[in-house]
């Protein structure tokens, strides 16, 4: 099915998890490109500041303080979009959390809270969105992860939630196609992104967590999301290094399993204090797109940029392998902040 979506400057875009990281980067980029945005997250004070800055720059934005793990809150987001702008054209489910710790240690309550946000938040957002978009058409974009296809030690519940998001998204896409609904469904799968996700994590480890390389900027995910809002693609990997790891897992799953100890080491910092609580149950330290990754952060992903355009498909494998090698070699170098 071919979808004819509006150009970005004519769209209303709903973004959950918009108070930090990928969600915030997407909100700002969408507003800069002329879209009207509806922002949702638990931290209403931060959202008010973000919307104020967008409006001051000439954009149009409204917000809803909402917990996506509650369906009534998600419905309130849609209601706000209808009241403010007459509806919406694209819905982006970004809200997500992680837990660092062995599966045997993580409490049932913590696991349930993570699934409530990562999985049920995506389910509620998707179902509320397609009910609205079934008549007018539009795009549903769910942010999964390379963890939708891979597993990492010490982030087992996060991986489980992202696997579940992929299964749900794929099934919903099939049902909408069967029904002839004019709704595109895209799953964006970022690799490690320099967002505040590690600092917001519930942490059972004895060290502050960090992201395994290669690491990319949140703006690269935002670029992919907004591309899918106009020119939808079924799946988009953000980061050639992540795609390379997925290919390794598919080709040689036993060999990938042997990387467990290396991945574990790469997720632990040695020079930062530990904050065990994170944002699992209440928001804190919001308002920032970037995290505090101590290593190299790639500005763009050549693999992702090429994958968004058919003419670049032939170069993807080479770009992926080259990008992975460069990122790992540069991981030890300090990052220059701007």
Q: What is the pLDDT of residues 223-267, one digit of tens each?
A: 999 999 999 999 999 999 888 888 888 888 888 788 888 888 877
Residues paired with residue 143 on neighbouring β-strands, in sequence order: 188
Asked if the model's pLDDT at residue 75 lies above 80, the reply is yes
> Whose structure tokens read 């500041």?
49
Among 95, 39, 46, 87, which Cα is nearest to 62's? Answer: 39
98 phi and psi angles, rounded to 5 deg: -140, 165
Least confident segment among 41-55, 184-198, 210-224, 273-287: 273-287
Cα separation of 65 and 109, whole Å?
A: 23
Catalytic residue, from 63, 100, 158, 296: name it.
158
Query: Residue 337 has what pLDDT?
Result: 47
Query: Residue 271 has what pLDDT?
Result: 63
Half-sphere exposure of 196 (CA within 13 A, CB side): 22
> Which one is predicted more confidently, 61 or 332?
61
Asked if the model's pLDDT at residue 25 lies above 90, the reply is yes
Angle CA 193–197–203, to nearest 5: 130
Helix (H) or strand (E) holding 190: strand 183-190
Provide the CATH number for the domain formed by 8-330 in this structure. Answer: 3.40.50.720
Cα separation of 209 and 265, whole Å?
A: 10
Average pLDDT over residues 66-79: 98
Query: Residue 168 has what pLDDT?
Result: 98
Query: Residue 70 has what pLDDT?
Result: 98
List of residues 6+ apart from 81 with CB closer than 8 A = 12, 14, 38, 62, 87, 88
Q: What is the DSSP string of 250-309?
A: HH-HHHHHTTHHHHHHHTB-SSS---SSTTSSS--S-S-S-----S--BS--HHHHHHTS
Asked if the model's pLDDT at residue 180 lies above 70, the reply is yes
Q: How far is CA 15 from CA 35, 46, 246, 276, 326, in A?
A: 12, 14, 27, 28, 33
Query: Residue 277 has what pLDDT?
Result: 86
* 115 band by pLDDT with thresholds 50, 70 and 90: very high
Query: Residue 223 has what pLDDT?
Result: 97
Query: Residue 264 has what pLDDT?
Result: 80
Cα separation of 217 and 324, whole Å?
A: 15
> Which one is predicted more confidently, 331 or 161?
161
Residues paired with residue 268 on neighbouring β-strands, in sequence order: 209
- Tokens coding 115: 């699934």
Among 211, 225, 201, which Cα is nearest to 23's? Answer: 225
Query: Residue 328 has what pLDDT?
Result: 56
| 124 catalytically annotated | no
Query: Residue 270 has what pLDDT?
Result: 59
Asked if the model's pLDDT at residue 186 lies above 70, the reply is yes
pLDDT tens track for 80-91: 999 999 999 999
* 207 band by pLDDT with thresholds 50, 70 and 90: confident
Asked if the model's pLDDT at residue 167 lies above 60, the reply is yes
Residue 142 DSSP class = E
* 208 band by pLDDT with thresholds 50, 70 and 90: confident
């Amino acid at each position: 099915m071919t979808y004819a979506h509006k150009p970005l400057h004519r769209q209303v875009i709903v973004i959950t998890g918009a108070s930090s990281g990928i969600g915030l980067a997407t909100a700002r980029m969408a507003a800069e490109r002329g879209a009207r945005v509806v922002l949702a997250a638990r931290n209403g004070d931060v959202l008010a500041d973000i919307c104020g800055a967008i409006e001051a720059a000439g954009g149009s934005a409204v917000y809803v303080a909402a917990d996506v793990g509650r369906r009534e809150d998600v419905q309130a987001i849609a209601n706000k979009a209808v009241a403010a702008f007459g509806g919406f054209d694209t819905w982006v489910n970004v809200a997500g959390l992680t837990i660092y710790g062995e599966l045997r240690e993580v409490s049932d309550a913590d696991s349930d809270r993570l699934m409530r946000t990562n999985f049920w938040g995506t389910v509620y957002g998707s179902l509320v969105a397609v009910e609205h978009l079934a008549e007018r058409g539009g795009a549903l974009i769910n942010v999964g992860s390379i963890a939708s296809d891979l597993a990492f030690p010490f982030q087992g519940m996060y991986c489980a939630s992202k696997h579940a998001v992929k299964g749900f998204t794929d099934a919903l896409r099939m049902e909408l196609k069967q029904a002839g609904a004019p709704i595109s469904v895209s799953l964006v799968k970022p690799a490690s992104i320099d967002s505040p996700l590690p600092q917001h994590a519930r942490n059972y480890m004895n060290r502050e967590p960090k992201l395994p390389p290669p690491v990319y900027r949140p703006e690269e995910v935002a670029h992919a999301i907004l591309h899918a809002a106009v020119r939808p693609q079924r799946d988009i990997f953000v980061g050639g290094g992540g795609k390379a790891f997925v290919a390794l897992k598919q080709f040689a799953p036993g060999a990938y399993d042997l990387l467990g100890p290396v991945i574990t080491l790469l997720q632990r910092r040695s020079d930062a204090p530990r904050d065990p609580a994170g944002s699992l149950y209440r928001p804190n330290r919001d308002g920032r797109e970037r995290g505090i990754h101590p290593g190299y952060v790639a500005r763009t992903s050549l693999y992702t940029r090429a994958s968004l355009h058919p003419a670049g498909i032939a170069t993807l494998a080479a770009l992926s392998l080259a990008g992975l090698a460069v990122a790992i070699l540069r991981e030890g170098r300090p990052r220059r902040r701007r």
